[in-house]
Amino acid sequence: MRSLIDIVDLTVEEIDDLIATANDIIANPDKYAEKCHRKKLATLFFEPSTRTRLSFEAAMLELGGSVIGFSGASNSSASKGESVADTAKIVSCYADIIAMRHPKEGAPCVASQAASIPVINAGDGGHNHPTQTLADLLTISREMGRLDNLTIGLCGDLKYGRTVHSLIEAMSRYKGIQFVLISPEELKIPGFIRYNVFENQGIPYTEVSSLEEAMPDLDVLYMTRVQKERFSDLAEYERLKDLYILDGKKLNMAKPDTIVLHPLPRVNEITVDVDSDPRACYFFQALCGKHIRMALILFLLGIKRA
């Protein structure tokens, strides 16, 4: 039985297969409408979510399955002191697959060790967010036609931004990838990515503090929200939150075929005038999140592609 806790739990071939399945689902949704008949997804969300939870639920419903779960720790027995491991054991009696989001790094991993059904990490603290990465890869491959030979700029909160960590781990396994890390000193990429990916694997990267300077070189610009909920010092958050704002003027410094991604929600990082630029792909990216999660549910439940 497989779970998805870290994006490197999947081989590159498996990721490419998931993308192929998602593309087939987009082209032929009816073929998949009953694939998960009588299967249940449990969404255990101990942290706020709009896109991730609802796209998981929509994914399971569009596969003909059903959904149980809770959003907010206060609505579950966690508020009575139940451990993540016990919750996972209990939910294994009621569902076929779990998607879990938790503020503590490692919680979905603990759940996967206790559960008797597959567990999907839907975001653990400031650590990882593998299913957002799958959505990002589907978006890049549909928009650019490839996942190799790309210069990817990651901008904003690279320290606490879990989507960035998983995206770097995933993209670094494709050929000809270069990263441009755009952040202030205080929000630079953490050691586990710096050493495990960039230094140990010799992946090329540069670190800059200016978005304007990086812009003309990028094929993909990945904007992020400064993760307010991870700061212990709110004054520091206030000081850093609006350092990078992508507006139409800055986007004009990019190549005509650069794409702009953002896992969303955005706060101030992208002005609304950018939304109508054909290079803005973040709403399409949210749609890709549903299709790739459909592919992932089928894969982890061992259900063959149509």
Shortest distance (Å) from residue 125 CB to ligand NCD: 9
Whether 112 contacts 100, CB under 8 Å: no
* One-character DSSP codes across 59-70: HHHHTT-EEEEE
In angstroms, the CA 156 to CA 162 distance is 12
Comparing CB distances to ligand NCD, the nearer of 39 and 162 is 162
Comparing CB distances to ligand NCD, the nearer of 162 and 293 is 162
* 173 touches ligand NCD by CB under 6 A: no
Site for ligand NCD in 125-154 (CB under 6 A): 129, 132
# of chain residues touching ligand NCD (CB under 6 A): 10
Contacts of 177 (CB under 8 A, 6+ apart): 148, 149, 150, 151, 152, 171, 203, 204
Nearest to 57 by CA among 293, 301, 304: 293
Shortest distance (Å) from residue 27 CB to ligand NCD: 25
Binding mask 234-263 for ligand NCD (x = CB under 6 A): -----------------------------x
Comparing CB distances to ligand NCD, the nearer of 92 and 163 is 163
Comparing CB distances to ligand NCD, the nearer of 65 and 123 is 123
Residues designated catalytic: 51-52, 80, 101, 129
Shortest distance (Å) from residue 264 CB to ligand NCD: 5
Shortest distance (Å) from residue 201 CB to ligand NCD: 24
Contacts of 284 (CB under 8 A, 6+ apart): 139, 142, 143
CA quadruple 137, 165, 57, 97: dihedral, nearest 10: 100
β-pair type (97-102, 177-182): unpaired
Binding mask 39-78 for ligand NCD (x = CB under 6 A): ------------xx--------------------------
* 264 touches ligand NCD by CB under 6 A: yes
Peptide bond before 265: cis, by omega within 30 degrees of 0?
Answer: yes
Shortest distance (Å) from residue 163 CB to ligand NCD: 5
Looking at 142, 159, 162, 290, which residue binds ligand NCD (CB under 6 A)?
A: 162
* 121 touches ligand NCD by CB under 6 A: no
Whether 62 contacts 84, CB under 8 Å: no
Q: What angle do CA 130, 65, 63 make, to 5 degrees?
A: 70
Q: Residue 129, by phi and psi: left (phi above 0), alpha (psi -120 to 50) or beta?
A: beta
Contact footprint for ligand NCD (CB under 6 A): 51-52, 123, 129, 132, 162-163, 225, 263-264
